[in-house]
Amino acid sequence: MRDIHETLELWGAWAANEHSCLDFPHIGAGFKGLITSTSKSRVQCCDDDGIMIDGCVARLKKYKAEEYELIILHYVFRVSLRTIAKKRKCSDGTIRKEMQTALGFILGVLMVIKPS
């Protein structure tokens, strides 16, 4: 399996081009003005992989809403972790720990769905 960061980068490009079935708001709470329009020049994953990752991220939304928002902001809308930390008025370390939790959750769900 690929690196989880690379996988989510490809999924983020796929989801940004309105392939995702997730109903994420196009402007996150408090992030108006920070999110730029997405570019279609990003390398994307295939539809099968995108749908599979979408399912994992949907499970994340169900159990960990803050981490879900972090994944959407960072991988779909390409907002930096530092910018998210400033907007939330917390340290970069806090955001990185939340991201680590989210990535671990998604990777765990992927391993259950598609053991390799």
Enumerate the domain spans of the chain. 4-29+40-113
- Give me the pLDDT at residue 113, please: 87
CB-based contacts of 115, cutoff 8 Å, min separation 6: none
The list of the chain residues with pLDDT below 70 reads 1-2, 19-40, 115-116
Running DSSP on this structure, what letter comes out for residue 19?
A: I
Q: At CB < 8 A and 24+ separation, what contacts does 98-103 make?
A: 98/66, 98/67, 98/70, 99/67, 99/70, 99/71, 99/74, 101/64, 101/67, 102/60, 102/64, 102/67, 102/68, 102/70, 102/71, 103/4, 103/5, 103/8
- Give me the pLDDT at residue 94, please: 96
- The residue assigned the tokens 């390409």 is 78
- Give me the pLDDT at residue 38, please: 47
pTM for this prediction: 0.80
- The CATH architecture to which 4-29+40-113 belongs is Orthogonal Bundle (1.10)
